[in-house]
């Protein structure tokens, strides 16, 4: 075996760190481990973020993170694995985008960092301390990397476009509901005003009659 370099050790450290975090997050979504909510809770959360239908989205995210993280730890099919997990993190980052960068405010800092690290591993390769190296890089060659990057980029674009359409439809429905409530409120005001005017019109002849009676009273 060729000598192991510092680059190989560094790539192993990065694979272990990123892979363990991703696998743990996937286990939260799929099994409810480590304080996670499991598939049902994750599906509800993703639905609220515009990822529909919720359950398939939860399963896809959970499997991508759990399997992708495990494969990064092993250094197996690293270009394809890194590209797939980078795609998942890009989608996650887009959901947190409106809250800004920093994770303390619910921003996209954390998924963006994991996505960048996964993408870097997809491009750099796993290093010699990996299953890919034992397999003579048959699953980790340049054509595999290019195909994986193209496929995952296309899938990411489709998911984000679908989410944008769902969120736009939800915003339109909310605006329509608010307009309906406002119109109903305006209608109630108009009805009340019309009732007051009707009462005033009904009382006016009576008041005029009383005034006329007083004027003709001889006393």
How many CB atoms sit inside 10 A of residue 32's CB? 15
What's the pLDDT score for residue 219? 41
Show the tokens assigned to 115. 């996505």
Q: Give the tens place of pLDDT for each residue, 64-111.
A: 999 999 999 999 999 999 999 999 999 999 889 889 999 889 999 999
d(CA 59, CA 161): 19
Mean pLDDT by 10 residues, the chain (219 residues): 87 97 96 94 91 91 95 95 92 90 92 94 92 92 80 86 87 83 72 60 52 42
List the Cα angle 120/123/125 in 5-degree steps.
95
Show the tokens assigned to 194. 């019309």
d(CA 55, CA 89): 18
Q: End-to-end alpha-carbon separation of the chain, Å?
A: 130
Burial code of 162-178, b = ≥16 C-beta within 10 A, e = fewer?
ebeeeeeeeeeeeeeee
d(CA 66, CA 62): 6
What's the pLDDT score for residue 211? 46
The 8-class DSSP code of residue 100 comes to -
- Give helix 38-48 / helix 54-74 axis angle, nearest 10°: 110
- List Cβ neighbours of 201 (8 Å cut-off, separation of 6 or more): none
Task: Give the global pTM.
Answer: 0.75
C-alpha distance from residue 219 to each of 109, 208, 213, 216 (Å): 92, 19, 11, 9
What's the pLDDT score for residue 123? 86
For 218, counting Cβ atoms within 10 Å of its Cβ (0-12 exposed, 13-18 middle, 19+ buried), the class is exposed
What's the pLDDT score for residue 186? 75
- Cα–chain-centroid distance for residue 15? 25
What's the pLDDT score for residue 148? 80
């Amino acid at each position: 075996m060729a000598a192991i370099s510092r680059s190989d050790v560094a790539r192993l450290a990065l694979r272990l760190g990123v892979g363990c975090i991703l696998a743990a997050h996937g286990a939260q979504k799929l099994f409810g481990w480590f304080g996670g909510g499991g598939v049902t809770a994750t599906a509800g959360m993703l639905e609220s973020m515009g990822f529909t239908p919720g359950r398939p989205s939860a399963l896809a995210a959970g499997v991508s993170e759990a399997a992708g993280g495990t494969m990064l730890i092993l250094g197996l099919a690293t270009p394809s694995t890194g590209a797939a997990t980078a795609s998942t993190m890009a989608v996650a980052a887009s959901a947190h985008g409106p809250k800004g960068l920093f994770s303390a405010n619910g921003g996209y800092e954390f998924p963006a960092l994991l996505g960048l690290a996964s993408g870097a591993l997809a491009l750099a390769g796993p290093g010699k301390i990996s299953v890919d190296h034992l397999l003579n890089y048959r699953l980790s060659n340049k054509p595999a990397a290019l195909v994986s990057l193209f496929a995952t980029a296309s899938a990411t674009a489709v998911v984000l476009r679908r989410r944008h359409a769902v969120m736009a439809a939800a915003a339109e429905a909310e605006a329509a509901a608010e307009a309906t409530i406002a119109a109903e409120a305006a209608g109630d005001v108009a009805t009340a005003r019309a009732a007051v005017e009707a009462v005033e019109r009904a009382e006016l002849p009576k008041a005029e009659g009383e005034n006329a009676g007083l004027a003709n009273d001889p006393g």
